[in-house]
Chains A and B, each alone.
Chain A
Amino acid sequence: MTVKEIRMFRRFVQVLGLALLLVGGAAHAGVELATSVKKVVAVLDENGQVTRRLEAVESVVPEDVLLYTITFTNAGDETVDAGSIVITNPLPAETVYLEGTAAGSGTEITFSVDGGETFGKPETLEVQRDGTTQAAQAADYTTIRWIFEPALDPGQSGDVTFNVRLK
């Protein structure tokens, strides 16, 4: 091997080692997180009742209602501590949160009106409007937070959801 080839081989070994290190690091204690989005479409059924169904969506137009689902899975081989999973979702700036839609079994749900600095239950949140302190509206929320109460064993998963309307 020439000097140049030796250098290239050393470089290859370094990169390979780094890659193996990364794969190994992710393998044993991991929670995977995924988000998906569907459009909530109101349809009038044959009895004249409005029902809602979910549609796969690539694109939306203003006033459309979207359902976001965040799925978390313990992909590692160790149990995640009870009460330690905290999911935080800043609301996309172009959307308005729809009151009462945040859900997730086994979770405690709180909201932020200050970009995620502080969180609280809806009835405790306040904003400054027109120079006075007023109770926050759903449209004031900037961030949603779920705290998952149970422990999460390897292979287990859960999900949380919320709806927004596109501005």
Chain B
Amino acid sequence: MIFALLFAASTASWALGTDAGTLITNTATLSFEIDGAAQPIVESASAITRVDERLDVATVSRDGGLVLISSPSRQGVLSFDVTNTGNGDEVFRLVVDTDVDEGGFDPELVQLYIESNGIPGLQSGNGGDLVYVGGTDDPLIGSDETIVVYVELNVPDSLPGADEGSVRLSAVAGTFVQALGVTHPDDTGFPVPGATFPGLGDRSVDVVVGLSHEPRASTVSAVGTLQVDGPIVSMHKTALAVSDGTGGSRVISGAEITYELAVQVVGTGSVGQLVLTDQLPPELAYVPGTLMLDGAELDDDFLPAGQDDAGFDHATDTVSVAIGSMAAGSGLRRVTFRAAVR
């Protein structure tokens, strides 16, 4: 009940169904006359019909389309409404799938939240929205009430522009979890419309699975999609080769390692004033005159100032190469240099 009060926030436009457990009573009366004389009115016994709990749910994306993400956040939040469209109160288990669409990328689930602080949008941390843990925080949603769910996601790097990644949020009725142990719409034995669960409804009436669980038209789940927008910079450092001075490739004192810093910009748009830096650890010494960009030699001295922005800074043991502006999808820029093992 605490949850029901907490989440009874949104107004919903769904038609209200008669509450589970209600008794529908029909009674007729009859009047008649015999030889012109009115007789006492007759009342029928009542036909009484119990209202069972129809289990229905509508999960809907709140985002109204693609949610754009751009570097450097690498994070996206998708939001959903979960409405109990049945006629009884029900606990729901929330489940997220991140491997939804063919192609595109798979976002990485960070955390689920339930809107609880009354401030639109996701706020995490102190005073923020409620962190949801499946099986522990399953919300009780009253008939015709809606909760808002936020799905916080990480986005992998190295994405092409306009690439899309989708997740699916499902609201699985607690009755299914309790009675069948199914926790996901794709589980074998997930109930279909018309399935009944005797005595598990509100006020111990039967539960009947409603049409929202129709396999091909299910509203148990909804999909939300992130799209890469704006540039995302990704860099990888690789040791290309080791030369130990004896024709071998052992990493021994005096051996020289060839490093490559490969940078690319993905997504859309471009970045400006891109500078690649790599600080060497104490075990490595820069080999002078080995700095190259895309196979072209660079010198080490940063001179003339203002024109040459590449070199090796001895004070900080850092290789630094200014790339300048770089457009998304323009391919890789490669910086290579060698360092010697001390």
Contacts and interface: CB of A to CB of B under 8 A. Distances in A.
Interface of A: 29-37, 57-63, 66, 68, 70, 72, 76, 78-81, 84-90, 92, 94-95, 152, 166-167
Contact of B49 (A29, A34, A57, A167): A57
Contacts of A80: 32-34
B287 interface: no
Q: Which 7 pairs of residues, A with B, have the shortest CB-CB distance?
A: A62-B17, A84-B33, A61-B54, A33-B44, A59-B50, A35-B47, A94-B18
Given A60-B52, A62-B54, A35 B30 contact: no
Given A61-B87, A61-B208, A62-B18, A88 B28 contact: yes
Interface in B169-222: 205-206, 208, 210
B43 interface: yes
Contact of B42 (A32, A63, A152): A32
Contacts of B27: 35, 89-90
B39 A29 contact: yes
B280 interface: no
B32 A86 contact: yes
B26 interface: yes
B47 A63 contact: no
B34 A81 contact: yes
Contacts of B44: 33-35, 70
A37 B47 contact: yes
Interface residues of B, number: 36
A35 B45 contact: yes
Contacts of B33: 80-81, 84
A46 to B, nearest CB: 19
B25 A92 contact: yes
Interface in B46-79: 46-47, 49-54
A85 B28 contact: no
B203 to A, nearest CB: 12
Given A62-B54, A90-B27, A152-B32, 20 more contacts: A31-B42, A33-B30, A33-B44, A35-B27, A35-B47, A37-B26, A59-B206, A61-B53, A61-B54, A68-B47, A79-B34, A81-B35, A81-B36, A84-B31, A87-B28, A89-B26, A92-B26, A94-B22, A95-B24, A167-B15
B307 interface: no
A23 B205 CA distance: 39
Given A81-B36, A166-B24, A167-B17, A60 B51 contact: yes
Contact of B51 (A37, A61, A72, A86): A61
A62 B49 CA distance: 12
A33 B31 CA distance: 10
Contacts of B32: 31, 80-81, 84-86, 152
Contacts of A32: 42
Given A62-B17, A63-B17, A95-B24, A31 B49 contact: no
Nearest to A68: B26
B11 interface: no
Nearest to B205: A59
Contacts of B18: 62, 94, 166-167
Contacts of A167: 15-18
B28 A70 contact: yes
B34 A62 contact: no
A35 B29 CA distance: 10
B54 to A, nearest CB: 4
A92 B210 CA distance: 23
16 contacts: A29-B39, A33-B44, A35-B44, A35-B46, A57-B49, A61-B52, A61-B53, A61-B54, A68-B26, A79-B34, A84-B31, A84-B32, A85-B32, A89-B28, A92-B26, A94-B51
Given A33-B44, A37-B47, A94-B24, A88 B53 contact: no
A114 B41 CA distance: 21
Nearest to B88: A61
B51 A33 contact: no
A87 B30 contact: yes
A89 B30 CA distance: 9
Contacts of A36: 47
